Amino acid sequence: MACVVLGVCGSIAAYKAADVASWLVKQGHEVHCVCTPAALRFVTPLTLMTLSRNPVISSFEDEVDSWVPVHIALAQRADLLVVLAATANTLACMAHGQAPNALTSLYLANRAPVLIFPAMNGRMWEHPATRENVACLAARPHHHICGPAESGMLACGDEGKGRLLPVPEICETITRHLSRA
């Protein structure tokens, strides 16, 4: 089975990463969660560690078990990088090669295909800067922007585009991608 790195970002939808991690493990995949610091405001490392059966990386201080930094070792082992509940901030960092945290550092070292599942307020999603960052990422080889959902109630009470795709659709997209690999 595949080694899947599940990058979790600081959107309210980050809690859905627990369902995705659990589903991936049940499918027999090796799952490693790498969270942005903001993601930990919405989901705990203990939850993700228990469901993924692996330690959660959320800062460079977590990288003490080996002389090879964990974000580099995971990037080398990954068969797929899934960035879930990708925020405008994480998209911008990825698009511009900025690496302020373990997830974006891992992204720069990664050579595996990347599935990006955005989740944010519709106004943020439609902003020209976000659109440019998404276009930049979509143009890169082996990068796939998956979503957001076309419409729905957002956490802020707005109605519209920006909502994370439903978990079954996320899992189906990952399955489709892994079956082609």
Catalytic residue chosen out of the listed positions 33, 93, 156, 171 = 156
Site of tokens 């627990």: 18
Site of tokens 């993924």: 52
Sign of the CA dihedral running 38, 56, 73, 59: positive
3-state SS, residue 140: coil
CA gap 51, 6 in Å, rounded: 12
**167 closest CA partner among 6, 57, 19:** 19
3-state SS, residue 25: helix
Q: Is 156 a catalytic site residue? A: yes
Catalytic residue list: 156
